[in-house]
Amino acid sequence: PLVSMTEMLQKAKSEGYAVGQFNLNNLEFTQAILQAAEEEKSPVILGVSEGAGKYMGGFKVITAIVKALMEEYQITVPVAIHLDHGSSFETCAKAIHAGFTSVMIDASHHPFEENVAITSKVVELAHIHGVSVEAELGRVGGQEDDVVSDGIIYADPQECLEMAKRTNIDALAPALGSVHGPYKGEPKLGFKEMEEISKLTGLPLVLHGGTGIPTKDIQKAISLGTAKINVNTENQIASAKTVRQVLAEKPDLYDPRKYLGPARETIKQTVIEKMREFGSSQKA
């Protein structure tokens, strides 16, 4: 069923695993991720960035595709459609009205008071619709779509506590050294802050930039209260590699089904691996 993230993440947190957010880029990603979740009996969060939303034809188109595929595949596991890095109240409202079950309001580049004010407004609307809300503090490094970060800023635990108290959010993404896209060298995650923020807020924490984080760090993050891990680049790299291989082996090939089909299979396998790594397999 289509659900918000709230129960999914509470359960994950209390049982010591994390639910993967896997970003949609096109139809094949959507198919692969839903199939992987059902096969693994895993809850799943479908991440939709503003850029991917535009690319796929708008939020309403995405909701319609997801609902139709869920019916076609007879999906029994909990699925959330989640706006990833919503940049304004307006975009969040659009996603909510299009039937998304969860939104992230990323006002982390605004001064703290403004971040709290925008986030509160989103929570108020979202909760009327039974939609969950994720907020962000600090700054994730790297680049995602058009969102270029000008450096990593670690989230401040006291601000996280304030945010939790004043906004009624359902999940918190404190930036603690993670990066969108591939890492240059080993990631240096702020585990001390992660533990503190988890204890102070009691909220399920979200780890952005899940691509390229070593398994030991993933496990440590989960043990310190991380209940959601976002992955996009890893699926993009894996599927692009498959497309390159297929086209290199068969230079005369032109039917998109013949290269996107194998790419879809690669995405599915990559997602299955992540679900096992995060411990969400067989938890639906």
Does 277 bind ligand G3H (CB under 6 A)? Our answer is no
Q: Which of 11, 13, 82, 208 binds ligand G3H (CB under 6 A)?
A: 208
Q: Is 266 annotated as a binding residue?
A: no
Mapped to the 3 state alphabet, what secondary structure does 249-282 carry? HCCCCCCHHHHHHHHHHHHHHHHHHHHHHHCCCC
Q: Which of 181, 246, 247, 260 binds ligand G3H (CB under 6 A)?
A: 181
Q: Is 180 annotated as a binding residue?
A: yes
Select the binding partner of residue 181 from ligand G3H, Zn ion, none (C-beta < 5 to 8 A, by kind): ligand G3H
- Residues 6 or more apart whose CB falls under 8 angstroms from that of 207 comprise 18, 173, 178, 213, 221, 226, 228, 229, 230
Known catalytic residue: 84? yes
Q: DSSP states of 54-109 as a string? A: HHTT-HHHHHHHHHHHHHHTT--S-EEEEEEEE-SHHHHHHHHHTT-SEEEE--TT
DSSP state of 26: S
Which residue, 105 or 161, has its beta carbon nearer to ligand G3H? Answer: 105
Instruction: Name which of residues 132 to 151 contact ligand G3H (CB under 6 A).
Output: 144
Q: Is 85 annotated as a binding residue?
A: yes
Give ∠ CA 22-95-139 in degrees, rounded to 5.
Answer: 60
**Catalytic member of 84, 145, 146, 252:** 84
State the nearest-atom distance from the C-beta of 199 to ligand G3H, in Å: 23
Interacting residue ranges for Zn ion, rule: CB under 5 A: 208
d(CA 53, CA 46): 12
Q: Is 225 annotated as a binding residue?
A: no
d(CA 87, CA 237): 25
Site string for ligand G3H, 66-85 (x = CB under 6 A): ------------------xx
Give residues in contact with ligand G3H (CB under 6 A).
Answer: 23, 47, 84-85, 144, 180-181, 208-211, 230-234
Which residue numbers belong to the known binding site for dihydroxyacetone phosphate?
Answer: 181, 209-211, 230-233
- Annotated active-site positions, please? 84
